[in-house]
């Protein structure tokens, strides 16, 4: 019996929700056609515009901050490889070897510390800041639905009020066929019954209006207070975020400058021990090398070109005077193309060819993977329910115009591996609750 009662309650709730959606749809049609007035709040609409702008700006800042962190990580790896190379070429009997190794260790620790502090003081704060937007966005949408309910209840009550005047006129003069056919002695009772029935409907409509108005006003008052406060908080948040980044970067470069100076001192000591010798590196003679005194001619196709003599001068260079221009670093165009492409792919967090839509074990149109950093409770049937740690396979929207700012379409990897049915498993989710992993 309890089970049947539970099913009855569920069925009743579903029917009630269907009726609400139908009533709202009818009300919106009447409003668009101009047959029903719509409650407007220009001040609130401005708050919603500010909210959407703030969400867009915050989402962009989060994306750029993650790109910055990826670049820091890539530079850390490049610096680590460079120091490892120095340690390999630094021979055991050279002076300062232990100091050079210690500097390399401190260099690695400094990069790790810098990256971690950026995550703790900037990225996590950014995630927390954006974490409040999905809930407020959902409440704004719910307020809109409750406003439609309120307008619908108001219009229904007003129509019954108008009918009340007609009912009062009926008491004086019966007009319906039923009333005319009734005996004279019972016409008064029939009229009284109709009036009582109309009054009952009007009382019910009034109760529904009061209830709808109360629900709407409670949500409206809360959002009217929260949205301006959230909008004003953006200034302090931006200031704190960029101050943290600037301060961390300043301290990092100060400490890195000290390590670079220490490494320079070690290399100066190595240079002094070897004196001012000049070493000449000559190429091995080849059969095609021209005789002395003859001008070399371009080598024929397929033959090795003559290798020029390379001289390495170990004499110390004069110290740079204050204010002197620093030498320019080589441009990216001077590097081999494969190096440039590999570095660019590393910075972007992907390597071309690692995955693609053609793989049979991934859904059609697969673009990349993300991992949920926080739990997310779905507020609609087309949304994904996420738990921290869930991996989601991101796919494109079937209709790009349906994509909202800051939302992605995807399917949880566990659901895809189990069902392989895209239509049943896919859904939308907020991008700022996740972090790209592939």
Residue 21: what pLDDT? 67
Looking at residue 213, its pLDDT comes to 85
pLDDT band at 15 (very low <50, low <70, confident <90, very high): low
**pLDDT tens-digit readout, 398-413:** 888 888 888 999 999 9
Task: Give residue 202's pLDDT.
Answer: 75
390, two tokens: 């869930």
Determine contact, residues 390/374, Cβ cutoff 8 Å.
Answer: no
* pLDDT per position as a tens digit, 175-227: 455 555 555 555 555 555 556 666 777 778 788 888 888 888 888 899 999 99
Strands laid side by side in the 427-430 sheet: 427-430, 407-412, 391-395, 368-372, 434-436
| Residue 70 burial (CB count, 10 A) | 16
Specify the higher pLDDT residue, 369 or 276: 369
CATH number of 42-273: 1.20.1270.60
Fold classification of 368-436 (topology level): SH3 type barrels. (2.30.30)
Q: What is the pLDDT of residues 146-181, one digit of tens each?
A: 888 888 888 877 777 776 666 555 554 554 555 555
**Higher confidence at residue 402 or residue 386?**
386
Around Cβ 224, how many Cβ atoms within 10 Å? 15
Highest mean pLDDT among 5-14, 49-58, 341-350: 49-58
pTM across the whole model: 0.50
Q: Answer yes or no: is pLDDT of 39 > 90.
A: no
pLDDT tens, residue by residue, 283-307: 555 454 444 444 444 444 444 444 4
Span 310-351, pLDDT tens digits: 444 444 444 444 443 443 443 343 444 433 343 344 444 443
Model confidence band, residue 356 (pLDDT cutoffs 50, 70, 90): very low
> Domain map of the chain by residue range?
42-273, 368-436
Q: Could you tell me the CA-to-CA distances from 407 to 269, 318, 373 in Å, in that order?
A: 58, 58, 15
């Amino acid at each position: 019996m309890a089970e049947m009662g539970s099913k009855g309650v569920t069925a009743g709730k579903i029917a009630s929700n269907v009726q609400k959606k139908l009533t709202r749809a009818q009300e919106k049609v009447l409003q668009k056609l101009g047959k029903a007035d719509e409650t407007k709040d220009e001040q609130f609409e401005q708050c919603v515009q500010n909210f959407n702008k703030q969400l867009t700006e915050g989402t962009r800042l989060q994306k750029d901050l993650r790109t910055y962190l990826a670049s820091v990580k890539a530079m850390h790896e490049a610096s680590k490889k460079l120091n490892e190379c120095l340690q390999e070429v630094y021979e055991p009997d050279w002076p300062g070897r232990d100091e050079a190794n210690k500097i390399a260790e401190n260099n690695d620790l400094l990069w790790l510390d810098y990256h971690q502090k950026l995550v703790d003081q900037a990225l996590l704060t950014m995630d927390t800041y954006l974490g409040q937007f999905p809930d407020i966005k959902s409440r704004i949408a719910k307020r809109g639905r409750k406003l439609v309910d309120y307008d619908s209840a108001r219009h229904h009550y007003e129509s019954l009020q108008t009918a009340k005047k007609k009912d009062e006129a009926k008491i004086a003069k019966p007009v319906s066929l039923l009333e005319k056919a009734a005996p004279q002695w019972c016409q008064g009772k029939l009229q009284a019954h109709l009036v009582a029935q109309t009054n009952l409907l009007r009382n019910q409509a009034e109760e529904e209006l009061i209830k709808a108005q109360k629900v709407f006003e409670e949500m409206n008052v809360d959002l009217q207070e929260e949205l301006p406060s959230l909008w004003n908080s953006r200034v302090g948040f931006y200031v704190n975020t960029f101050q943290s980044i600037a301060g961390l970067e300043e301290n990092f470069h100060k400490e890195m400058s000290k390590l670079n100076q220490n490494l320079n001192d070690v290399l100066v000591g190595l240079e002094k021990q070897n004196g001012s010798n000049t070493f000449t590196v000559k190429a091995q003679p080849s059969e095609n090398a021209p005789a002395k005194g003859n001008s070399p001619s371009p080598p024929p196709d397929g033959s090795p070109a003559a290798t020029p003599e390379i001289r390495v001068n170990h004499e110390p260079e004069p110290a740079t005077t204050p204010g002197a221009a620093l030498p320019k670093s080589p441009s990216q165009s001077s590097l081999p193309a494969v190096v440039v492409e590999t570095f660019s792919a590393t910075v972007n967090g992907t390597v071309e060819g690692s995955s693609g839509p053609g793989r049979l074990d991934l859904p059609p149109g697969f673009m990349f993977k993300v991992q949920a950093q926080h739990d997310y409770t779905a507020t609609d049937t087309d949304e994904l329910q996420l738990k921290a740690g869930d991996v989601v396979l991101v796919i494109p929207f079937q209709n790009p115009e349906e994509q909202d700012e800051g939302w992605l379409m995807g399917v949880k990897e566990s659901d895809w591996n189990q069902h392989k049915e895209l239509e049943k498993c896919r859904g939308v989710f907020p991008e700022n609750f996740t972090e790209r992993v592939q």
